[in-house]
Amino acid sequence: MSDTHVGDVVDGSGHTPWPADSFDDSVLIPLWLDNPVRPVARPAASGAVDTDLLVVGGGFTGLWAALRAVERHPGRSVALIEADRIAEHATGRNGGFCEASLTHGESNGRSRWPGEYDRLHELGMENLDGIEQTVARYGIDCGFVRGGTLTVATRPHEVGGLGPDEEGFLDAAAVRAVVDSPTYLAGRLQPHDCALVDPARLAWGLAEAAERLGVRIFEGTRLDSLVRRDDGLEATTGAAVIRANRVVVATNVFHDQFRRAKWSVVPVYDYVLATEPLTDAQLGSLGWDPSIGVADSGNQFHYYRVTPDRRILWGGYDAIYHFGRSIGEEHADRRATFETLARNFAETFPQLHGIRFTHRWSGVIDTSTRFCAMFGTAHRGRAAYATGFTGLGVGASRFAGDVMLDLVDGETTERTRLKMVQSKSLPFPPEPLTWVGIQVTRWSMAREDATGRRNLWLRILDRLGLGFDS
C-alpha cells in the first residue's frame, strides 16, 4: 500500500514522496538572524574619524581582525565599519560549521601545497583551538560544541573515497548507528576537526568583546573610496572621512576596491532550509548526537546539523551563479532550489515525513578558483585583504585576520611565509566565458556524482588547478 499523502509529489524515479508545500508557510529570513536578542544596529560613522587601524567589513573576517588587533597590541586604536549590519550577510547565513581546515579540505590542500600541507593542518587545528578559547574567555553564548563531522556516502562509487582501510571509516551499519538514514552506505567520522556554532551569536559576541577592548564599530557605513595620503590612508563614506595608518579590507564577495581581489572571486548563491523543532521522538528516531555535523560526499553536496533549539538545518547542493556576477534581492528566493532541498531531505530522513520547514534563506559565497582564501596588499603595503573562502570561512576567517594584520604591520611571520599566503588565485575570465564555464562545470560535476567518473572537462580543470565549488 502506498504511503503517498494528498498533496505530495512523487518524481519519476520512484523516490520517496515529499510534501510539495512543506516550506510554503516558511519565512524568508536566516534562522540565526530571526532572533529577539539580535543587537540594535550601531550608529553610522560621521564627521572626521582618526584611527591607527581601520577594518572594513563586519563579518567574521573583519571581526576577527579587529579583535585580534587589540589582543595583539592592547590600546591600539581600531575602528570597524560595516555597510549593513554585523553578521547580515555570509556570516549570519551559513550552516554554523566551524572547521579547522584552512585549505577547503585535505585533498585540495595536499594537491596545491604538498610540501606544507601537514603544517597547514596543524595551524588549522591551532586556529580552531584559538576560537574555542576565545568563546570561553569572553563568555560568548553561541552554542559552541566540538563534536566533529560525519561525511557520508550515498552512492556506491563514493564509498572508496572515504578510505575503507583507514581509521574513522564506518560501514553502513556503523554509520547508521551514528545518524540513521536509509541512504547511507558508509561514512567517515572525524571527531576533532570541526565545531558547530550559532554563527550570528558568535559574530555578535566577537563584536561585543572587541568593543570592550576599545574597538569602535560603525554600522550602516559603506566604504566609498580609499586613497593614499602622505601620512596614511583616507577612507570616505557617506557621512565620514576616516584617516588611518593601516587598513584591512574584509568584504569578501563584495570587493570593489582592489582589482585583483575583484576578479579572483565570483558570487555563488547557497540556499538553506530549517525545520520546525524536533520532538523527542523525532530526534530519537535519528539517533543523532547534535554535536556532530553531517555532509554527503558528492560534488553537489548537502551539509546539515541539529541546531541548539533542535531543528535540522539543511543546506547546500544547488549552488547557483548568476550571469555577470550578479548579486541582488531577486536571487534570494528560488523556489526550484528549495523544492530540491525539501525533496532530498525527505529521501534522506523518511522517518520525519510530514515535518515542515519554518525558515528558508540564501546567502552569497565568495568562490575562488583555488577553493580557499587568498591574500594581498595594496597602497604600498598599508592595506591588506583576504577573500575567496569558498564556504569554509567560519573558522578560517580568524586565521585570515591574523595574516592581514601581519601584512599591514610589515611583520614577517610563519603565516606570511606560507606558499598558501604568498600565492595568488587565478582570476575568473570575463563574461560570457565565466558563465559558460561554470555551467559546463556544474553539469560535469553532476554527471560525476551520477557515474563516479570525471569527464574530460573536469580532468582539464584538474590539470590547470581550476574549479568551481561552494
DSSP 8-state secondary structure symbol assigned to residue 157 = G
Burial class for 361, CB neighbours closer than 10 Å (0-12, 13-18, 19+): buried
pLDDT at 470: 56
**Cα-trace Rg, the chain:** 22
Supply the pTM of this predicted model: 0.94
Distance, CA of 296 to CA of 299 (rounded, Å): 9
First to last CA, the chain: 40
pLDDT at 254: 85
Q: Name the residue among 265, 252, 436 with its Cα closest to residue 367.
A: 265
Q: Cα–chain-centroid distance for residue 454?
A: 26
Distance, CA of 439 to CA of 429 (rounded, Å): 14
Write the single-letter amino acid at 167. Answer: E
pLDDT tens per residue across span 167-211: 999 999 999 999 999 999 999 999 999 999 999 999 999 999 999
Q: Cα–chain-centroid distance for residue 269?
A: 11
Among left, alpha and beta (phi > 0; psi -120 to 50; other), residue 139 is left
Please report the domains of the chain, with CATH numbers, ordered by start residue.
8-29+144-194+267-365 (3.30.9.10), 47-141+197-265+369-422 (3.50.50.60), 433-464 (no CATH)
Indicate the pLDDT class of residue 19, thresholds 50, 70 and 90. Answer: low
pLDDT at 103: 96
Grid cell for residue 7: 498533496
CA-to-CA dists, residue 208 to 31, 79, 251, angstroms: 21, 13, 20
Res. 6: pLDDT tops 90 = no
Q: DSSP for 119-142?
A: HHHHHHHHHHHHHHHHHHHTT--S
pLDDT at 11: 43
Distance, CA of 339 to CA of 317 (rounded, Å): 12
What are the backbone dihedrals phi and psi of residue 335, each rounded to the nearest 5 degrees, phi first? -60, -40
Beta strands 265-275 and 186-190 are unpaired
Whether cis (ω within 30° of 0) applies to the bond prior to 156 is no
Res. 152: pLDDT tops 90 = yes
**Residue 182: in which H helix or E strand, if any?**
none
**Residue 49: in which H helix or E strand, if any?**
strand 47-56
Res. 27: pLDDT tops 90 = yes
pLDDT at 22: 92
Distance, CA of 154 to CA of 148 (rounded, Å): 20
pLDDT at 232: 93
Distance, CA of 146 to CA of 289 (rounded, Å): 11
Q: What is the mean pLDDT of residues 119-140?
A: 98
pLDDT tens per residue across span 254-276: 877 787 777 889 999 999 999 99
Number of residues that this document lists for the chain: 470
Distance, CA of 413 to CA of 401 (rounded, Å): 14
Res. 468: pLDDT tops 70 = no
Q: Cα–chain-centroid distance for residue 26?
A: 23
pLDDT at 13: 42
